[in-house]
Amino acid sequence: MRDHATLDANMRAAIAAAQDFIKDRQRGDWHSVASVVLTASGARYIGMNLDSTLPRASVCAEPVAIGMAMAADPDDAVVFCGAVNRRGEVIPPCGPCRELMLDYAPDALVAVPEGEGMAFWAMADLMPTAYKHGRRKT
């Protein structure tokens, strides 16, 4: 997935898959989000948020999708992450998800809304002054 044109096409296809996924998985007026990640090997994982009556118990979609990728192959780097709401609109990751992506997908591109479409930003551009933990991957 190193070829830029191929990666761009794969990211757009991944967002389309997340849009299709979330259409059938809405729970009434609950907050519903699907997140999709792509890995360096070309694998795709789609996760869904877990909304809760108690907001602090809610889990965003991005950690679910990243967790699925890590569970499948912890050595396969996440190269892209994107999320869509229940209307199929691309939404940016929240602050805690951005922090989590810095730990588990630091070199990934991330879909963000731009005008009527989307753009792909590097994590470093989303979090230019983020705290760096200094831990090494073993």
- Which tens digits make up the pLDDT trace of 28-69? 888 899 999 999 999 999 999 999 999 889 999 999 999 999
Question: CA–CA separation, 117 vs 54, rounded Å?
Answer: 32
Question: CA–CA separation, 86 vs 64, rounded Å?
Answer: 17
5 vs 88, residue with greater confidence: 88
Q: Which residues pair with 44 in a beta bridge?
A: 38
Beta-carbon contacts of residue 10 (< 8 Å; ≥ 6 apart): 1, 38, 42, 80
pLDDT band with cut points at 50, 70 and 90 for residue 136: low
Q: Residue 122 corresponds to which tokens in the numbers above?
A: 């590097």
According to DSSP H, which parts of the chain are helical?
Answer: 4-23, 61-72, 95-104, 123-126
> Minimal CA–CA distance to 8: which of 98, 80, 92, 83?
80
Predicted TM-score (pTM) of the model is 0.88
